Amino acid sequence: MRRFEFALLLVLGLTACVAVIDLPGPHHEPFVQLVQIRSDWREPLYGPLTITYELTIFNPSDRTLFVRAVDLHSSGAGIYQVAAQTRRLNLAVAPHENAAVRVRVSAWGTGGQASAFEPVTIHGLLRYGRGQSLAFEAMP
């Protein structure tokens, strides 16, 4: 009986250690920055546009981060609107390193001027690893 108890405690102890090592948390989540790269627009902006962003991802973990995709869309009023779009990335970010990639999205100009009075709020969802995701917001 003692051997069984010892073996059970050993298995439970090892399981607990593995659970602690792989425990997701804020210190393992990537950091995301989205910056708009301005193109030569004619103002006022009205009609179909292509917007280019630079997406920078920092990996704070000790393992390589595999970024699969990013979902982007805008909310509220602004100089342009971005409908929900998914962009596949297939990007590997080394541990404790940054990686940047340019992402293009289709948008619709609302007829405004590029100014601080007509900001665009972009909501994003970074998809990485095995089914993990991180929601973020930016005002590029």
- What tens digit of pLDDT does each residue of 33-56 get? 999 987 656 677 788 988 999 999
Domain count, the chain: 1
CA 57 – CA 110 distance, rounded (Å): 30
97-122 tens-digit pLDDT: 999 999 999 999 888 776 656 788 99
The answer to which of 23-32, 64-73, 79-88 has the lowest mean pLDDT is 23-32
Largest CA distance in the chain: 81
Is 44 within the bounds of a domain? yes
Residue 73 domain-assigned? yes
Residue at 82 is within a domain: yes
Residue 94 lies in a domain: yes
Torsion of Cα atoms, 131 then 96 then 33 then 29, to 10°? 40
Work out the percent of the chain whose per-residue pLDDT is above 70: 73
pTM: 0.74
Report the DSSP pairing between strands 80-81 and 85-93: unpaired
Within a domain: residue 18? no
In a domain, 83, yes or no: yes
Please provide the size of the chain in residues. Answer: 140
CATH number at residue 101: 2.60.40.10
Q: What is the mean pLDDT of the chain?
A: 81
Does a structural domain hold residue 13? no
CA separation for the pair 36, 29 (Å, rounded):
23
Q: Is the residue at 20 inside a domain?
A: no
* Percent of the chain whose pLDDT exceeds 90: 55
Cis peptide before 30 (omega within 30 of 0): no
The tens digit of pLDDT for each residue in 6-33 reads: 444 444 444 433 333 343 445 579 999 9
* Domain assignment of residue 84, given as a range: 26-138
